[in-house]
Chains A and B, each alone.
Chain A
Amino acid sequence: MRCAEHCEVVANRPVATNQFEIEIHCPTVALHAQPGQFVQMRVQSGYEPLFSRPFSVFRRFPERGNFSVVYLVRGAFTQMLARKKPGESVFVVGPLGNRFLVAQPANQVLHLLVAGGVGAPPLYLLAEELVQTGVPRQKIVVVNGARRQDLLVCQEHFAELGVRLRTVTEDGSAGAKGKVTDALKALHGRGELSGNRCQVYTCGPTAMLEAVAKFAQKHDLPCQVSVETLMPCGLGVCLGCAVKVRTANGTDYKRACVDGPIFDATEVVWE
């Protein structure tokens, strides 16, 4: 079930420096969006920029028919989005794409969620679902990383969920200094990932996904990656968001928007 319609902005509030959460009234997305799925949003009335932009669903409020996404203001589109006031409308197509698949039996698996920058929101929705479905909080580890403190996303929300949160920044301005892979190595070094059945879920910049995928592969951990790419249509027709994947007879292209955005890490060809 998905929709393509003009939706009312309910709230558009700053959550950190240059970072906003926009809440939108859209019952279809509120009821049906799954962790990892996204919406295409259009705020511009003209042709500059031309295309919609994809945003992962962050929170769902089914009882009031709303959902929210988190965004960093960093270009023309997000500047326009930041100016949207409650009562104004945005055009929403969604929910789109596939979802993170929860490893089973869920309450016996260590769920390792690795987020980079604005890759955090879909992992928050996943963490929330895990908690709500009764997975013990100590079985949910979130590694939340960014270059600097002000680029960390969803920090307080993860903290409120009560999951095990490991924060890393490249400049050390919050949490441990380093990259998410350093936090993964530390967890591994303490033996937390061995002996446990462990499933990695990751979303963030491509270089980070590749590093996490390689870490997972090295330690034989199953890993799902949510890829980031331009998505002109989001519906599987423009073929502009192709992801190179391994097949039985070589390689092929899949579409991030409908075959993904979540892929098994071993399937993706990193270039």
Chain B
Amino acid sequence: MSEVKLSVKLGPLRLQNPVLVASGTFGYGSEYADLIDLNRLGGIMVKGTTLHPRAGNPMPRMVETAAGCLNSIGLQNVGVEAFIREKLPFLRQYRCAVIVNIAGDSYEEFEQLAERLDGVEGVHALEMNISCPNQEKGGIHFGVDPEATREVVSRVRKRTRLPLIVKLSPNVTDITMTAQAAVDGGADILSLVNTFVGTAIDAKTRRFKLANITGGLSGPAIKPLALYMVWRVARAVKVPIIGMGGIMNATDAVEFLLAGASAVAVGTANYVNPHASMEILEGIEQYLREQGEKDVKHIVGTVKRCKPGNEF
């Protein structure tokens, strides 16, 4: 059997394969280390990290919806110092890329996070979380404003030499505007999409189901929306894309690659099946073999128009 090349190069970031795990769905890796071989992952995007520890939002924070899940965790995390001290040493043992998802409420917080993590051994890239839907209080909502997006990205760009990923919000009228703004600010890579803002109501009690009222929708319910946005952004900008949003299996992942993503991130599926990322990696490899492709990069963005008569 011929070898299939799975390693990908996303601008300055090299990954041994295109399967990452999305921030907030995989903790700090150690939680899954006895269930799957972390060395086989393309990369781990760690839980959203802030300058100071955060306790998160009140309960209930998560609710199941049709083929999906709304969450309003509120960036509960240990803070950047504890991350470096307590979480990173474990991750350094593995050969997968470690991507730190950083979240700030102000330009200054983003700058300080980038500076703190620059040059820290074992950190391979930063992913800027300018799109968390559960962090509206007080902070600037960077991710929905192209000018604020460009400004915060360019400020962070000046303070780190690490490959810079910007995670885009889908809660905008035209995602290509914020995508272009992030690229103009100096993003090396774009990741999309973050969750869609939504809510859920209990008719019986006449109350909202989440303490925070709103949450971010993830899971298979959002896949068609995410896929569309990846396809649009891929045609609008030149930087590589990490596609995510409801990827549950290898076929879903391949669809994102065909739409124009150079790599994918598995999120909510990690909750449902701890082996999801491994099964997706194996499934992509098998798909490439079946399609007679020798290199995963050859299928990126190759989706074509449908043919009449192909409906079945």
Contact = CB atoms under 8 A, between A and B. Distances in A.
B290 interface: no
Contact of A4 (B59, B66, B274): B274
A237 B76 CA distance: 11
Given A48-B67, A49-B64, A232 B274 contact: no
B66 A48 contact: yes
Size band of the interface chain A makes with B: 20 to 34
Contact of B272 (A3, A48, A51): A51
B235 interface: no
A46 to B, nearest CB: 8
A175 interface: no
A51 B274 contact: no
A216 interface: no
A242 B245 CA distance: 24
B25 interface: yes
Contacts of B56: 239, 242, 253
A52 B66 CA distance: 14
A236 B27 contact: yes
A11 B39 CA distance: 38
Interface in B3-33: 24-27, 31-32
B73 to A, nearest CB: 5
B158 interface: no
Given A2-B34, A237-B271, A242 B64 contact: no
A252 interface: yes
A183 interface: no
Q: Which residue, of A3, A48, A49, A240, has the highest number of chain B Cβ atoms within 10 A?
A: A240
B274 A235 contact: yes
Nearest to B27: A237
B59 A244 contact: yes
A237 B26 contact: yes
A244 B69 CA distance: 22
Contacts of B270: 233, 237
A252 B55 contact: yes
A239 B272 contact: no
Contacts of A3: 35
Interface of B: 24-27, 31-32, 34-35, 47, 55-56, 58-64, 66-69, 71, 73, 76, 219-221, 248, 268, 270-275
26 contacts: A2-B34, A3-B35, A47-B221, A48-B66, A50-B69, A51-B64, A51-B69, A51-B271, A52-B272, A93-B35, A232-B64, A232-B69, A233-B271, A235-B27, A235-B274, A236-B31, A237-B27, A237-B31, A239-B24, A240-B62, A242-B61, A244-B59, A253-B55, A253-B59, A253-B76, A271-B59
Interface of A: 2-4, 42, 46-52, 91, 93, 229-230, 232-233, 235-244, 251-253, 258, 271
